[in-house]
Structure 1
Amino acid sequence: MISLQATIRNNFGKKARSLKNQGQIPAVVYGPGVKNFSLQVDEKEFKKVLLKAGESSLIELRLDKDPLVSSGQEKKPVLIHDIQKDPVSGNIIHIDFYQADLKEEVKVMVPLVFEGTAPAEKDLGGTLNKNMLEIEVKALPQNLPHEIKVAIDSLKTFEDHILVKDLVLPKDVKVIKDPSEIIASVLAPQKVEEELATEIKENVEGVEKVVKEKKEEVVIEEPKG
């Protein structure tokens, strides 16, 4: 299990805002039967862990001080539940860690990684159409996958498609999705052009509608004699 060093945080307000200058990110840990507590993690180390584990794999928080005296544990198995970013800079400003019950299944979104080459795209000039980029799964926290790979080599014609039921899942992992839903397919060149034309037409019609409504809002009053 990937581990991340963390420090219990007791400073809040203005002092907490200075953490960024120290290369630290404020965070909180919560979960069923867990007393919420605040901590801070090193920004560079967290980004390394995020790259490896993502938001669907269990990681181990190593605390320099345990706020839950009764448990006596210094290591906490958690999920990276939420990451808040500055809307302007894109920098991470806060992290939510979820300490899950290892005996209870949880639901998370797992990214889909498309591998290989679709013959219908390479040889027939089609365009790969990805209907899903992530999918919701259910499993015990320790069994959650970092990603699910999707082999697209089977897409040999424009009639071929990959369904949810075609996914190769790790043991004890269930997908929370209709098995018949399409994950990926290859669109024929003409089909792509038709969809683009339809999209452009809809955009133009939308603009024309707005312009018309604006014109109708303008009322010209005749000068009073």
Structure 2
Amino acid sequence: MPSRSISVGYKDFEKVYRSAGESTIVTLDCDGKTYNVLIHEVVQDPLKNIPTHADFYAIRMDKELKLKVPVEFIGESFAVKSEGGILVKVMQEIEVEALPKDLPHSIVVDISKLATVNSRISVGELSLPAGVRVVAEADDIVVLVEPPRSEEELKAQLSTEAPEAPVEEVKTEKELKTEEEAAKKAALDAAEKD
């Protein structure tokens, strides 16, 4: 299908985009024809926070696609809740290959499996729908639990991340005027001695 410009009502588009995202096939009716498309590259108005432009990619249902699918984290980690661990979501989306009919809306990761500090879930441990393959390596980490940081570690991290800026002395107008007058007097005194 050749590129072309179309106009879609804001409310209609927002409703479809909110439910479909960029990884679910939607049907687009245009000039009496129906197309299977993916919504892609949505541009938002920075002031109104509403979409002003979007690309629709027409797809063939018999050809595999490679695209990024969002990761949906569910459950509660015992290591975070009871041991004070820090949950680190390494991947927010995962690139997959699949026929369009097999594309998942999201990949669900159950973090309740993270029972201890330093536990992790890798790509190879994910439950994927039939016909879906992940492009990433099987040992790539999706989510992990780090040990809690002590107060000393936090202070050390903060001191290395943001070195203290040199403190400048701020003077009031009165102090500046007094210094200026003292400098003038010193200059006059020095001139008189010569």
| Same fold at TM > 0.5 | yes
C-alpha distance after superposition, 1:113-163 (max 9, x if no partner):
111110101111112111111111111122211111000111111131100
Residue in 1 that maps onto 2:16: 49
The number of equivalent residue pairs is 167
Query: Quick check: 118-127 or 185-194, which moved more?
Result: 185-194
Residue in 1 that maps onto 2:46: 87
Asked if residue 40 in structure 1 is aligned to residue 7 in structure 2, the reply is yes
Residue in 1 that maps onto 2:153: 194
Matched residues in 2 for 1:56 and 1:184: separation? 21
Matched residues in 1 for 2:73 and 2:151: separation? 20
Shift of residue 55 of structure 1?
0.3
Secondary structure, in 3 states, of the residue corresponding to 2:137? coil
Shift of residue 169 of structure 1?
0.7
Equivalent in 89, 98, 103 of residue 139 of structure 1:
98
C-alpha distance after superposition, 1:187-224 (max 9, x if no partner):
2112797367425522227x67xxxxxxxxxxxxxxxx
Residue in 2 that maps onto 1:222: none
Given the superposition, is the C-alpha separation of residues 118 and 40 from structure 1 closer, same or farther in structure 2, using an over 3 Å criterion? same
Q: Say what the alpha-carbon RMSD is for the aligned residues.
A: 2.1
Equivalent in 17, 21, 29 of residue 62 of structure 1:
29
Matched residues in 2 for 1:120 and 1:85: separation? 38
Shift of residue 53 of structure 1?
1.0
- Percent identical residues: 39
C-alpha distance after superposition, 1:64-115 (max 9, x if no partner):
x24xxxxxxx111000021112233322111100001222111111111111
**Higher share in strand:** 1
Q: Quick check: 1:111–1:135 contact (8 Å CA) kept in 2?
A: yes
Residue in 2 that maps onto 1:69: none
Secondary structure, in 3 states, of the residue corresponding to 1:52? helix
User: 1:138-217 residue pairs with structure 2 within 5 A?
Assistant: 138-190=97-149, 194=153, 197-204=156-163
Given the superposition, is the C-alpha separation of residues 121 and 42 from structure 1 closer, same or farther in structure 2, using an over 3 Å criterion? same
Matched residues in 1 for 2:104 and 2:56: separation? 17
C-alpha distance after superposition, 1:6-62 (max 9, x if no partner):
xxxxxxxxxxxxxxxxxxxxxxxxxxxx11121111111111111211100111012
Runs of 4+ in 1 over 4 A off after TM superposition: none
Residue in 2 that maps onto 1:112: 71
Residue in 2 that maps onto 1:76: 35
Matched residues in 1 for 2:79 and 2:140: separation? 20
Matched residues in 1 for 2:102 and 2:155: separation? 41
Given the superposition, is the C-alpha separation of residues 95 and 59 from structure 1 closer, same or farther in structure 2, using an over 3 Å criterion? same
1:41 maps to a residue whose letter is: V
Gaps of 5+ in 2: 167-194
2:63 maps to a residue whose letter is: E
Residue in 1 that maps onto 2:187: none
Matched residues in 2 for 1:166 and 1:196: separation? 35
